[in-house]
Amino acid sequence: MKKIILIVMCAISFSSCKKFLAEYSQTDLVPKTTEDYAGILVTDGYPGQRILQAYVGLLSDDVECFFTPKGRVLVGNAVRGSAAFQWQPDYVENIGEVEIKNNINSWQTYYQGILGTNVAIQYMDGAIGPDDNKFQYKGEAYALRAYYYFQLVNLYGLPYNDKLTSPAKNPGVPLVLTANLSDEFIPRASVQEVYTQIERDLDSAIYCLNKGKKYNNKTRLSHVAAHLLASRVYLYEDKWEQSIAHADEVIKYHPTLMNLNTWDGYPDPESKPVTGLKNVETIWAFGMNQEQLPSLLVEPYGISTDLYNSFADNDLRKFINIAENFGPLLDIFGVVYSDMKNTISGSTTSSTVSAHFSTCFRSAEAYLNRAEAYIQLFKKGQADADNKALQSLNTLRQNRIDKYSFQAWETAPADTLLKHCREERRRELFREEAHRWFDLRRYGMPSIRHIYRPTETITEVYELKERDPQYVIPIPQAVLTRNPLLTQNTLFAGPRVAL
C-alpha cells in the first residue's frame, strides 16, 4: 500500500519520479485486496481533512466585511481576506499568511484527490475480494472523480452554458485519468471535454453503485449521491430533462426534508444540525467546517445584509440559519449577521465529527434542481411544467416557512417563476460548497458589489463587473511553472480599486 500511495504523491506534479520509486524497496507491501484499495480511496481519494476551496466563501454576494466594536482587534483578519474579497487579480498568490495559502491551492488539492481515485479505478478489478465490494468502491471512486472535475472546471474555466462563448473552445482543466506515471505534460482540455468526462464518470458511478447498493454510511458516496451530482451537472449544462430524471431518483430514495416548524428557533449541532453528518437531509457528508471560510478569516466576514434581507419575516431560516447580533454579541462574533450552518458541538468527540463532516449533499438541492429545470421547460412551452416546478418549490418551502402564515406559490410567467426559484436557491444553499458563486457564473456572471470596512473610518465598495475576468479563478503560478503547456486565465487589469 505504501508503494501505491507514493505513486499518488509523486504524480501530483504530473512529472516523473521513477528514479525515486526505483530506489524504494520492492519488498514493501503492495495492495492486493479490495479493502486495501478501499483504504487508499478513503485516505487519498476522499477529501478527509483537506480544505478544498475555502476562499470561494469570500467571492459571492452572500458575504460582507463588517466593522463592529470587536473590529479593532480583527483588522488583521480583514486585511488577510481583502485580496480575495476585493477580487484582486493576484489574490491567489497574495492572500496572506501561510495557513491560508496552504488552503487556497484548490488545483493541487483536487488533483491529489483525483489521483487517489485513479488508483482505485485502475486496480480494483484485479483485487482480491467479492464483486459487490469492487462495484461499490469503484462506484465511489468514479463519483468522487466526477465531483472533483466538476469543481475544478467551474473554478478555472468559463461556465459551460456561457452564451457568448463555446464550451468546445474554452479551456478547462487537464484530464488525468490514469494512475500511471508519465514524463509528459498534460494540456488543458476544453470545458466541453471535461464535462463529457464528468458525465461518463457519473454513468459509471451510478452503474457500479447500483450493483453495490450500500447506502448506510453518509461519509461515503452512494448511488443517491451520484444521482444528485448528475442532476447538478446536467442543470449546469442546460440539459433539463436529464437533470429532472436524476433529481427524481434522489427524491425517490431520499425525499426527507427537515421541517423547521418542529424546531424551537435555534440550531443544535447534536440534535438539530442545519448541515452536516447528523442532518436528516444529508446524503453525503464530507469536508471541514472551515470549508466556507478559513479560521483566520471567519471574522469580520459575515453574512451580507443583502442576503439577510432576502428572507421574509415568516421564513424560519432567517432565524435558524442566521444569527443577527446585537450589543455584546457584536463584541463576541465581530459581525452583524453570523452563519449558523457551520456551527459545531461543544464536546470534543462531537466537535471532531461535526468539524470533519460539515459540508454535505442535501435532498433540498434535488427539489431545487428539479424545479428550475421544469421552469426552463415551461419557458419552452411544455404544458404543466409550471405546476411540477411549483410542486417541488412548495414542498421545500412548506418545511421552511412558518406554518401559520405559509402560502403556496401559484403559477406565474416563466421569467417570474425562474426569478423566485433562483432566489429560493440562494436562501436555501448559501454558504454550502460553492453553490452561490457557481450559480452566479451560470446566470451570466452579473455585476455584484462588496462592502469592505477594515477600520472604523473606512468604508469601501468594490465591484465585480458583468462578465468580469475574475469570475474565472487564476491558476496558481506554481502550477503554471511546473507545466509549460498550461495557459493562464485572462486576468483583470488590476489592481482593482474601490468605487
Residues 442-470 have pLDDT tens digits of: 999 999 999 998 777 889 999 999 999 99
Q: Does residue 273 register a pLDDT over 90?
A: no
pLDDT score for 443: 98
Q: In terms of Cα–Cα distance, which of 450, 360, 414 is closest to 59? A: 450
Angle between helices 2-11 and 106-123 (to 10 degrees): 140
> Is there a contact between 456 and 448 (Cβ–Cβ < 8 Å)?
no
- Rounded distance, CA 30 to CA 28, Å? 6
pLDDT score for 55: 82
- The answer for residues whose C-beta is within 8 angstroms of residue 330's C-beta and 6 or more apart is 68, 69, 70, 336
Does residue 93 lie in a domain region? no
What residue numbers bound the domain in which 132 lies?
Answer: 1-51+105-214
- What is the per-residue pLDDT across 88-133, written as a single tens digit (0 to 9) for each? 998 887 765 544 455 568 899 999 999 999 999 999 999 999 999 9
- How much is the average pLDDT of 51-67? 87
Report residue 71's pLDDT band, with 50, 70 and 90 as the boundaries.
low
Q: Within 13 Å of residue 185, how many CA atoms lie on the same side as its CB?
A: 11
Q: Is 238 helix (H, G, I), strand (E, B) or coil?
A: coil
Does residue 139 lie in a domain region? yes
DSSP 440: H
- Rounded distance, CA 42 to CA 412, Å? 47
Does residue 283 lie in a domain region? no
pLDDT score for 333: 72
Q: In terms of Cα–Cα distance, which of 247, 269, 231 is closest to 395? A: 247
> Is there a contact between 393 and 421 (Cβ–Cβ < 8 Å)?
yes
pLDDT score for 22: 37
- How much is the average pLDDT of 398-408? 97
pLDDT score for 311: 98
- Rounded distance, CA 363 to CA 224, Å? 10
Report residue 17's pLDDT band, with 50, 70 and 90 as the boundaries.
very low
Q: Is 303 exposed, middle or buried (0-12, 13-18, 19+ CB in 10 A)?
A: buried
- How much is the average pLDDT of 167-176? 98
Q: Does residue 183 register a pLDDT over 70?
A: yes
Q: In terms of Cα–Cα distance, which of 435, 324, 402 is closest to 56? A: 435
Q: Which three cell numbers stand for residue 253?
A: 430514495
Q: Is 448 helix (H, G, I), strand (E, B) or coil?
A: strand
Instruction: Write down the pTM of the prediction.
Output: 0.92
Q: Does residue 75 register a pLDDT over 70?
A: no
What is 348-398 written as a DSSP string?
HHHHHHHHHT-EEEEHHHHHHHHHHHHHHHHHTT-TTHHHHHHHHHHHHHH
H/E segment holding residue 285: strand 282-286
Q: Does residue 379 register a pLDDT over 90?
A: yes
pLDDT score for 457: 84
pLDDT score for 57: 85
> Is there a contact between 71 and 453 (Cβ–Cβ < 8 Å)?
yes
H/E segment holding residue 236: helix 223-236
> Is there a contact between 298 and 386 (Cβ–Cβ < 8 Å)?
no
The residue with cell 478489478 is 125
Does residue 71 lie in a domain region? no
pLDDT score for 335: 81
Q: Tell me the percentage of the chain whose pLDDT exceeds 90.
A: 61
- Rounded distance, CA 355 to CA 350, Å? 8
H/E segment holding residue 112: helix 106-123
pLDDT score for 352: 40
Q: Does residue 354 register a pLDDT over 80?
A: no
pLDDT score for 250: 98
Report residue 65's pLDDT band, with 50, 70 and 90 as the boundaries.
confident
Q: Does residue 48 register a pLDDT over 70?
A: yes
Does residue 42 lie in a domain region? yes
- Rounded distance, CA 71 to CA 79, Å? 12
Does residue 47 lie in a domain region? yes
Does residue 420 lie in a domain region? no
Q: Tell me the percentage of the chain whose pLDDT exceeds 70.
A: 82
Q: In terms of Cα–Cα distance, which of 358, 414, 342 is closest to 385? A: 414
Q: Does residue 143 register a pLDDT over 80?
A: yes
pLDDT score for 237: 99
Domains held by the chain: number: 1
pLDDT score for 11: 43
Long-range contacts of 261-268 (CB under 8 A, 24+ apart): 261/316, 261/399, 261/402, 261/403, 263/316, 263/320, 265/319, 265/320, 266/319, 266/320, 266/340, 267/320, 267/321, 267/340, 267/341, 267/343
| Cα 450–chain centre separation | 21
pLDDT score for 29: 53
H/E segment holding residue 333: helix 328-333
The residue with cell 428572507 is 311
> Is there a contact between 340 and 71 (Cβ–Cβ < 8 Å)?
no
- What is the per-residue pLDDT across 230-244, written as a single tens digit (0 to 9) for each? 999 999 999 999 999
Q: Which three cell numbers stand for residue 369?
A: 434542481
- Cross-strand bridge partners of residue 65: 301
- Rounded distance, CA 73 to CA 77, Å? 9
pLDDT score for 331: 72
| 301 phi/psi in degrees, rounded to 5 | -95, 110
Q: Which three cell numbers stand for residue 102?
A: 496552504
- How much is the average pLDDT of 128-156? 96
> Is there a contact between 32 and 128 (Cβ–Cβ < 8 Å)?
yes
Better-predicted residue by pLDDT, 351 or 259: 259
Average pLDDT for the chain: 85
Q: How many CB atoms lie within 10 A of CB 471?
A: 23
pLDDT score for 434: 92
Q: Does residue 496 register a pLDDT over 70?
A: yes
> Is there a contact between 377 and 387 (Cβ–Cβ < 8 Å)?
no
> What CA dihedral angle connects 380, 383, 388 and 390, to 10 degrees?
70
Q: Does residue 349 register a pLDDT over 90?
A: no
Q: Does residue 229 register a pLDDT over 50?
A: yes
Does residue 300 lie in a domain region? no
CATH of the domain at 27: 1.25.40.390
